Amino acid sequence: MSYLRAFPVLSLVIIAWNLMVFSSSMLQPDSLLGSWVVPSGTAVFFTFGDVFALAGLGGLLLAVFGAMRGSAWPVIGRWLAALTFLAALLEFFMVPACGTAIFLLLTAMALIDGVASFIEPRLASGT
């Protein structure tokens, strides 16, 4: 089961995004999930794209904590994180349904995860 810690959690968010935008369902990133009024009187609108942004931040947080714990499969985890970023970057540029601001944020999170997975072992060893 230790090999599961090498799998980038952020890739699951990107896969779920692809399932949402390529399925024939009526769910789209800009579909309204809910709205409410905060005490200041401002209306807040929450979309499905916002859910993916929050899920991406959660995946990035889990990746950072996972990197601090270490893994039995560190090299595989690094390359999977890099491949997740490359796949997201290609999708952002080549797939019209992925050319949104929310997906750009997910791609940036994948970049941070990928870079951190290569930097963290060097910081831990002191070199």
Domain borders along the chain are 2-18+51-125
pLDDT over threshold 90, residue 27: no
Query: Is the pLDDT score of 127 beyond 70?
Result: no
Q: Chain-wide mean pLDDT for the chain?
A: 83
Longest dimension (CA), the chain: 52
pTM: 0.82
* Helices and strands, counts by H and E, the chain: 4, 2
Mean pLDDT of 34-46: 92
Q: Cα-Cα-Cα-Cα dihedral of 97, 99, 103, 107, to 10°? A: 120
Pair 89, 74: CB distance under 8 Å: no
CB 48 within 8 A of CB 100: no
Q: How far apart are CA 11 and CA 117, in angstroms?
A: 14
Contact indicator for 7, 80 with CB cutoff of 8 Å = yes
Tokens of 45: 């609108």
Q: Which helix (H) or strand (E) holds 47?
A: strand 43-47
The answer to whether residue 1 scores a pLDDT higher than 60 is: no
Helix (H) or strand (E) segment spanning residue 79: helix 74-94
> CA separation (Å) from 84 to 42, 87, 97, 113?
37, 5, 18, 9
